[in-house]
Structure formats: C-alpha cells, structure tokens
Amino acid sequence: MTRLQEASALRPQPQHPVGEDPFRSGAPLPDATRRPATFPANIWSLVATGCVSAATVTSLFSRLPESHTLSLPTILVRSIEYIALAAAGGAIGTSIPWFFLNAKPAFSLTYLSKIVAVGWIFFPCIILFYHRRSPLLFLVLTLATIASAFSLRRLFPATNEQERKPPAWYTSELPSLYGLPIPAFRPMPAFFIAICAQAALILAVSDRPLLAGIFLSICLSLLVWRWSALDASAVKQFAGRRQSVLLSAFAICFTVLALLPWVTGNPHSSKEVPRRPALITHESRESDVPGSDYVGIILWPPPIKKTEIVPPRPHETSFAIGKASQPVVIPFDGQYWYFKAPNRRPGARAHIAHGRATSVNVHSTDSAPLLMEAHQNLGTSVDLECCSEIDVAITNADVRPGTIALGIRLADSTSIGEPSQYLGERAIVSSRAAQIPLSRPSVEEVLRFPIPRPTTIRRFNKITIVFLSARERARAGAKVSIQSFTLIPK
C-alpha cells in the first residue's frame, strides 16, 4: 500500500450532521456503517407511540357521514382534514416521549415524523373502510404496510451480515424472490409468516376484518423487512420524496372513495349492503339470524282503526259558529325502519317484525351507528298552505342516557323525483336528563314543527320522522313511538 493510499484510508469519512435528512431527493442511500450509532429500542418506542396516537385521533374524528347530502368538493376537503388530523396526532404522539429521552437518536424529530407519516396518512381510509365493512380495506392495508416497512428501513438499515448480493438473474427481466428462503434458511420465521398469511385469509372469509387485517399486516411487514435487507436498492425505489408524494395522493383518493357513497344523488349509495346481518331484535328467532338472510328491520306497530284524512283548508271558517277550522289529527300507523349507513333504508331481505317501538330492543352488531326512521303514508295530498305547523305526539319509554332528537321531512311522491321539505329538529325534553331512573314511566310529549315559507314543495303525502340519537347511545334504537300528527291550520 502506498503512502497516498494509507493517508486516504486514515482520512475520516464525512458524516451527516445530527438532524439532517440523509435521504434527500437525489441523494444516494448512505452505507449503514456511516450512520451514527442509534438506540433501536428508543426508536421503536417513538414509532409505536406515534402510530397509537395517530390511530386514536383518527378513530375519534374520522367518522362516516350521517346524511347523503355531501358534494364532491366537501368530501375532498373532509378527506384532507382527516389525513391532516391523523398526521398531526401522530406527530404529537411522537414528540411527547421524544423530549423525555436521555439519549436522542442521530436524526431530528421532523425527520422521524416524515418517515412514519407514510403509514399515518392511510389511517383515515382504513378506519372508514372498516366501518363500511368494505373489501377495499385489505387493499389499502396492504399498500400502507408495504410503504411503512420500506420507509422504516431508513431508520433501521440492514447490517453487512444481513445483506446478500443477489445473483445476476435477480435483476433480469423476470426476477424471482431470491432470498426467500435464503441460503442460511431458518424455518421458524418462514413458518410464522405462512401461518399469519393463512390466518388472514381464513379470518377475511369468516368476516373478521379486524383480526384479518392484523395478521395481514404482520405477514407483509415481515416479508418486506426481509426483502429490504436482501436488496438495499429497494429502499431507494419505494422510499423517497417522490414516493411520499405519490402515497399521499393515494391516501387522499382512497379516503374520498370511502366517503363517495354519501354524495348527493349517488345511485350506488343505497345498493351497498353489509356482508353480515346488520341488526338483531329480541323477537328474532335463531333461524332468522344465520348468514345474510336480511339486512335491517322493518317494525310494524299494532294495527289501529283507519280514519279518513280531511286536510284543513287555509283560512277556512265556519259561518255557523264563526270559528276557524279545527286541527286535523292523523294517527300513526306506518313503519319503523332500522338500518345502517350507507344504506338509506332496510334491504330487500329485511326482517319484518311486529310490536311497539317502546318495547323492542334493537342494537347494531358492530361499532357503526344505528339509523332509525318512522314513515307515514297519508294516502292523500295535503296543501302546505293550509297549515302553520305540524305537531308530533310521542311516547318516550327510553331510560338510557343521551339526548334524542326528532327531525321531520315532508315528501310529495306524486311529483317527479319525489321532492321533500325538511322542517328541522326538536329534542325530546325527557331525554335530556343527566340521570334517568330505571323505574321511570313512559313520558308523553308533543313536539312542534313550524312550516317555514317559502317551501320547496307545495303539497305532501308522506311524513318521515328521523331519530337523531346522541353519540353515546347511537348503537341502539330509541324506545320512542310516534302516536299521531296534528295539522294546525292557519
């Protein structure tokens, strides 16, 4: 060795300053021996706390809409907000334990957040697809797991012992999975990966998306981790600034796709049904429950005597006694609907039950909220000009905590497109109590809904009551029955 070579060998190698991103766009991937010593346990703890925080924030704020009145721009803005909240929650969760570390890693907190945020941005669409029980959940989960594993390799580069140079045929036109198994094959990790893959498939077929997603992520992360150790160039190809921008675009697109059924006028919003029975009542027999025999419940109240509806005329007076026309009382004899979003009504195979809404127990089978409506068909058209308000008489037998509000919608099925007019919402006073005794008897109330002017329709022949329950009680149907409607003349 010449003196010039000896001097070159003794010259210190340039190191990246602490806090600088050594993986700038266009910069070559540095060798693992040039990276300053780090603390893997501390780094993994930061990654774990960031992911838990991002998942918690996402589960709190990323929720399915409750109405089908959203527009495409609104959904796009909402998707970006969900992703931004997930990234902010993950960054906060990472920064809190960072400041308590005695020995900081050799990179900055910002650099660490950018690395792990590749997975955070997919949390909103994963949770939304999970609530919708959509098979797209597994596609998004696969993309998020692969991207996160390659990105984390930048924090934990493979050692020289782990790296193996693939043969020439690995980079040929038809590469194979060289290294799986590697020459020094260890059967236990491969066996564990195979078990996870089979468990994910079985659980997915058995309609257990949560457990299936967990096993799928474990399987893919182990495979990608070994692949990136085998071929360091894969980290350059899958983890970089351009790839991060592309993954962000994918995250936004998938989140928009998860919210798409709630766009106004979407013809597919009412056709998507869950893959399992949505609801179960105490009146359902065991033979009604297996499989997907029904989606939702239609409850018929006890039959009542039919009465002819004679709508009041506006400004009608009785010349005999000199008084204005009397209010018209319409007893409720319609249906109660129980279903879940994104459906707008129970499915074609909905379970038909008979009973009072104040006595049945209807619950959602998962974390998705339960939607409840009451539908009354008048059989005749009523001119809106005849009435100043509509009073709804109800019976509240619910003793669970949480406010219940009712909204009323009038529709004209005789017109093209069945236009409707929403009259607003009114809270049930007896449901606002902080503590309700279990022995409290049923409460009779009347909710008044003024008819505004101008209206979007001139007449109506259908009345729909929408039950709006508080978040803490949204998974159960309200034990509230509709007694009658009263049309108050002008």
* DSSP one-letter string for 123-185: HHHHHHHHHHT-THHHHHHHHHHHHHHHHHTTTSPPPTTT-----GGGGSSS---TTTT-SS-
Angle in degrees, CA 175, 181, 186, rounded to 5: 165
Residue tagged 């105490």 (tokens): 282
Correct CATH for 279-489 of 2.40.128, 2.60.120, 1.10.1760, 1.10.10: 2.60.120
Give the lowest-confidence range in 187-191, 268-272, 314-318, 435-439: 268-272
18-53: pLDDT as tens digits:
444 444 444 444 443 344 444 577 778 888 888 888
pLDDT at 12: 47
- The CA-to-CA distance between both ends of the chain, in Å, stands at 108
Sequence-separated (6 or more) residues with CB below 8 Å from residue 320: none
Helix (H) or strand (E) holding 251: helix 241-259
pLDDT band at 479 (very low <50, low <70, confident <90, very high): very high
Pick from 31-40, 153-162, 377-386, 449-458 the range whose average pLDDT is largest: 377-386
Burial of 419 (0-12, 13-18, 19+ CB in 10 A): middle
Confirm if 124 and 58 have CB atoms less than 8 A apart: yes
Neighbours of 445 (CB within 10 A): 17
Sequence-separated (6 or more) residues with CB below 8 Å from residue 416: none
What does the pLDDT average to over 443-460? 87
pLDDT band at 183 (very low <50, low <70, confident <90, very high): low
pLDDT at 232: 61
pLDDT band at 8 (very low <50, low <70, confident <90, very high): very low
188-216: pLDDT as tens digits:
777 777 888 888 888 877 767 888 888 88
Q: Which residues of 128-151 are buried (b: 16+ CB within 10 A; e: fewer)?
A: bbbbbbbeebbebbebbbbbbbbb
Q: Facing residues of 467 across strands?
A: 372, 406
* Closest by CA position to 152, among listed 250, 40, 67: 40
The mean predicted confidence, pLDDT, of the chain is 75
Within the chain, all domains assigned CATH 2.60.120 are found at 279-489
pLDDT at residue 138 is higher than 80: yes
Give the CA distances from residue 287 to residues 276, 283, 284, in Å, rounded to whole numbers and listed in that order. Answer: 15, 11, 8
pLDDT at residue 158 is higher than 80: no
Q: Which residue has the higher pLDDT, 435 or 479?
A: 479
68-124: pLDDT as tens digits:
556 788 888 888 999 999 888 888 888 888 887 777 777 788 888 888 888 888 999
